[in-house]
Amino acid sequence: MTSKVNNSDFWEQRYKEETAHWDIGEVAPAFVKYFSRTGEVCKPRLQNVAVLGCGRGHDAFYIASCEPRAGKEGFASRSSQDVVQVHAFDFSESAINYCNKVKEENNVKNIHFHQANIFELVKDKKWKGYFDLVIEHTCFCAIDPNKRSEYIELVKYLLKPNGKLVGLFFMRDKELGGPPYGSTPKIIKDHFKKDFKEIVELHPESCLHSNLNGEEWFGVFETTS
């Protein structure tokens, strides 16, 4: 039986009905904390970042700013090639249309939105080893659990050698029927351990959804080949 989340219509309906309750309306605090501390997306050597399941693009716009500021999206105005280039992907056409509208209104040059099934990206050779970073914001818990191993293969396909997945994962032992689908730190670690090393250990982070505090965990995984 095909899972409902494998169909773009499921996600499209959520945005059309304004029932995308996972949308917190701004960048996740965990990403602000991490990138403000490391300055990673401001480094000239860093060129390409993928945001998987970008929704309305709050995290993607923040990364594209290259000037992280808590709670705000400071859009990058430079056009030189050393500015980070962000490619954000989502299954929902409505979500991508919204993102492109915001992009145009703010004249953001270094962000590119793609309406796509993320699992289809492996069919396009241009994405193989293209990205320095992949941003994960509870995408792992939103996909069909039977496709989690395929998701890890996708991330590995997208990343350059020694590329990183910077992730915010939803954790709850009890299966909710999905989405979100239940997960645990052990499940996450077991999926990544073959081809990645954990360079920032998974740990709970504060969440703007107060009822989910303690259930969103942050971690960074780096490819081992």
Chain segment 180-223, per-residue pLDDT in tens: 888 899 999 999 999 999 999 999 987 765 555 558 899 999 99
Are the C-beta atoms of residues 92 and 139 closer than 8 Å to each other? no
Cis peptide before 29 (omega within 30 of 0): no
Phi/psi of residue 131, nearest 5 degrees: -110, 140
Give the domain 4-223 fold: Rossmann fold (3.40.50)
**pLDDT tens for residues 20-59?**
566 777 899 999 999 988 877 766 567 899 999 999 999 9
pLDDT of residue 210: 53
Cis peptide before 44 (omega within 30 of 0): no
The reported pTM is 0.87
Average of per-residue pLDDT values in the chain: 84
Q: Both tokens of residue 58?
A: 């709050």
Separation CA 50–CA 89 (nearest Å): 8
**pLDDT tens for residues 50-102?**
999 999 999 999 999 865 444 444 444 444 456 889 999 998 999 999 999 99
